[in-house]
Chain A
């Protein structure tokens, strides 16, 4: 997909969602909102993947974002959707800023495993904290927008509209970032880091920056998911949650900023269909689909669109 087309496509998708939303069934609005939240996390992962880094513990920031939003509601009574999302983003970014000093030194499997270890430590700490409900977690206050609680029939649409707007802005921002010098460094780092250093750029700095951006996106997604589902629990930091994000990243491919959201939506659909059709063997269905995508579409689903356009 040529770089110039992406913003136009994004805007088109946003308009479609906003226009068609009021007519879609409620359960699809919910599914779409969750897909957008997960898509945000995967957008960040895509950024890291372009550098050749896979984080097995991105759920750490997803969870931090979610708990930041939840705790602001539980202890301070805040329920404004924008505030909570911002808080989630800020909390996650702060954590990544600190942890990035450690993590930016690692590559490959070790980066992945260290990030995994950190997310599991958070999981353990949360499960031990009975004040936060331990493994049962706690309820998140219903969202308000600028102090107003939308009418029951419009809540799902309102949240979806906000989510779509935020995702649009985030995707656009990342798209622009990829054009900046630091952004363009990513494939170079993936190919040959030493050459990058010889050129005078700091690979470590670039990775640290991308790590913080990815974490901020994950925190944003976490806060959004928390307010949409209405409940948070430590499982949001468990390695299986990280696994889900990686699954979607591979499913989507790194071709475009739209890919993560598409991948998240398709994953949501596969999962719900698998649950419905084969409640006893849905894991097998999920595993088989992942295998099929890796084998036949190594560049992710997005490569389907690429091929068509090239032809």
Chain B
């Protein structure tokens, strides 16, 4: 019984992390129809920015309770600098190209950003563990969990809820939904699709950066941090359906719970179980569990 509870709690925590990490990817695909490999770079940028800025401020005597705001602020800062640069500077000229070519462009950018991060922050690990331990821990039966994990779940819910609210209840959100469904008609209706692309790319990357920033207190930030996240995010997003927000949530929950159960009961298959799930979903529901119906164009 206790083990089942542990599987559930661990699964939810991991799902929350996966959701925050992956939701930006699905948003960008939904609106812009590009598979954005730089997603991993923004995750890493968020983590590095958060770790270095928070660490520097804490060393200067900032009260630790403010560190949560600083985490968010760092993610915001680094994304607002880098994302528009990439979108306006390079991607903007590439939208006419094939979706696979755009993927490769984002892959090339990812390689460049990896080394750029190394040049700016070096190869030594960074960490800021204060926010993680600050709130203490709680006990569930025999197991102890830091409250920080609840913050992670909270951030996931806020991101998901906030995004859903924005898409359905704000003007920009509704315009985005229109673009998601049909870019050409939206343009014909007078929507400034290019500006929507800029907002989406920035916002999607911000979500990735927030994922990185809030993960930073629980890990040590090292080069290569973004690489693992890319493949995991892809798997989640593909399972849920590219471009679908509830899909990303469901995908995250499925992957999180499956992984958690595997670790507790069958640790040997943990290595590739996520790809197995991804392959199975693709085999039976190629467009993912929740997919946007696309009319077949002759």
Using Cβ atoms and an 8 Å threshold, which residues of chain A touch B275? 117-118, 120-121, 124
Which of B104, B110, B231, B287 is close to A120, meaning CB atoms less than 8 Å apart? B231
Q: Are A110 and B282 in touch, CB under 8 angstroms?
A: yes
Residue interface bits A88-117, CB-to-B below 8 A is 1, else 0:
000000000000001001101110111011
Would A283 and B114 count as touching, CB distance under 8 A? yes
Q: Which residues of A contact B112 (CB under 8 A)?
A: 283-284, 287-288, 291
- Name A's interface SS: helix
What chain B residues lie within 8 Å of A54 (beta carbons)?
Answer: 100
Q: Which of B35, B105, B116, B287 contacts A291, CB < 8 Å? A: B105
Q: Is the CB of A117 within 8 A of B279?
A: yes
A113 to B104, CA, bound (A): 14
CA distance A124 to B268 in the complex (A): 10
Known: A106-B286, A110-B287, A128-B271. A121 touches B279 (CB 8 A): yes
- Asked if A220 CB lies within 8 Å of chain B CBs, one says no
A118 to B275, CA, bound (A): 7
A287 and B272 within 8 A (CB): no
A290 in the interface, Cβ–Cβ < 8 Å? yes
0/1 interface trace, chain B 229-264, chain A, CB 8 Å (1 if under): 001001100100010000000000000000000000
Which of B104, B119, B276 is close to A246, meaning CB atoms less than 8 Å apart? B104
Q: How far is the CA of A102 from the CA of B119 in the complex (A)?
A: 44
Count class of interface residues, chain A: 35 or more
A178 within 8 A of B: no
Contact B119 A281 (CB under 8 A): yes
- B69 on the interface (CB 8 Å rule)? no
Q: Which residues from A are CB-within-8-Å of B118?
A: 280-281
Does A239 reach chain B (CB closer than 8 Å)?
yes
Q: Are B282 and A287 in contact (CB under 8 A)?
A: no
Residues of A within 8 A of B115 (CB): 280-284, 287
Closest beta carbon of chain A to B205's beta carbon, Å: 17
B4 interfacial contact with A, CB 8 Å: no
Does residue B101 face the partner (Cβ distance < 8 Å to A)?
yes
Q: Are A284 and B279 in contact (CB under 8 A)?
A: no
Residue B278 is within 8 A (CB to CB) of chain A in the complex: yes
For A239, list chain B residues within 8 Å (CB).
Answer: 231
- CB neighbours (8 Å) of A286 from chain B are 111
Q: A110-B287, A124-B275, A291-B112 are in contact. Are A117 and B104 (CB under 8 A)?
A: no
B272 close to A108 (CB less than 8 A): no
B195 at the interface (CB under 8 A from A): no
Tally of B interface residues using CB under 8 Å: 40
Interface code B74-115, partner A: CB below 8 Å = 1, 0 otherwise?
Answer: 000000000000000010011001011101110111111011
**CB nearest to B283 among chain A residues:** A102
Complex interface: chain A residues within 8 A of B100 (CB): 54, 108-109, 112
Q: Which residue of A lies closest to B90 (CB)?
A: A291
Number of A-B contacts (CB under 8 A): 100
CA distance A137 to B243 in the complex (A): 39
CA distance A274 to B111 in the complex (A): 13
Contact between chains at B272 and A118 (CB < 8 Å)? no
Assembled-state Cα–Cα distance A290/B109 (Å): 9
Q: Please state if B286 and A105 are interface contacts (CB–CB under 8 Å).
A: yes
Given contacts A113-B234, A117-B275, A127-B271, contact A288 B108 (CB under 8 A): yes
Cβ of B298 within 8 Å of any chain A Cβ, yes or no, is yes
Which residues 260-287 of A sit at the B interface, judged by CB distance below 8 A?
Answer: 280-284, 286-287
Determine whether the beta carbon of B271 is less than 8 Å from that of A298: no
- Measured between C-beta atoms, what is the minimum distance from A103 to chain B in Å? 10
| B230 nearest CB neighbor, chain A only | A239
Which residues of chain B from 101 to 142 have any CB-CB distance to chain A below 8 Å in the complex? Answer: 101, 103-105, 107-112, 114-116, 118-119
Measured CA separation A117–B272 after assembly (Å): 9
Cβ contacts under 8 Å, B119 to chain A: 281
Once the chains are docked, how many angstroms separate the CA of A10 from the CA of B296?
42
CA–CA, A286 to B115, complex, Å? 10
- Per the bound structure, the CA–CA distance linking A280 and B117 in Å amounts to 12
Return chain A residues, CB-CB under 8 Å to B111. Answer: 283-284, 286-287, 290
Q: Considering the chains assembled together, what is the distance between the CA atoms of A176 and B103 in angstroms?
A: 31
A125 to B276, CA, bound (A): 11
Residues of B with C-beta under 8 A to A250: 101, 104
Determine the chain B residues whose CB is within 8 A of the CB of A288 once the complex forms.
108, 112
25 contacts between A and B (CB under 8 A): A109-B35, A109-B100, A109-B242, A110-B286, A114-B283, A117-B279, A118-B279, A121-B272, A124-B271, A125-B272, A192-B298, A239-B231, A247-B104, A250-B104, A281-B115, A282-B115, A284-B116, A287-B107, A287-B110, A287-B111, A287-B112, A287-B114, A290-B107, A290-B108, A298-B101
B residues bordering A, Cβ < 8 Å? 35, 90, 93-94, 97, 99-101, 103-105, 107-112, 114-116, 118-119, 231, 234-235, 238, 242, 268, 271-272, 275-276, 278-279, 282-283, 286-287, 296, 298
Closest 3 CB pairs of A and B: A124-B272, A287-B111, A284-B115
